[in-house]
Amino acid sequence: MTTADDSAAGSDADHVEREVAVEDGESAMITRDGEPVARLVGVERDLDAVIEAIMGFGRAHPLEGITVKELIEEGRRF
């Protein structure tokens, strides 16, 4: 795994660069007072597979006469 430059927690200057590097497959160590506190790593995902999984769930669990509005109202009760 490649590693982006270490950066201090609370430092705003390089957040965007660090996030882009993580999206590109690198990882980034976040430090506080020179001590590691966290490591950012990207999430590997296959967008087509995610979409197919969501669509497959919908096909396997049809609403069968229930409207989306009814589902929303039911959710508001809790």
Domain spans, the chain: 1-78
What is the per-residue pLDDT for 72? 92
What is the per-residue pLDDT for 1? 42
pTM over 0.85: no
Element (H, E) at 49: helix 47-60
Both tokens assigned to 33? 């007072």
Identify any residues that bridge with 7 across adjacent strands, giving them in sequence order: 30
Over residues 47-77, the pLDDT tens digits come to 899 999 999 999 999 888 999 899 899 998 8
Q: How far apart are CA 46 and CA 48, in angstroms?
A: 6
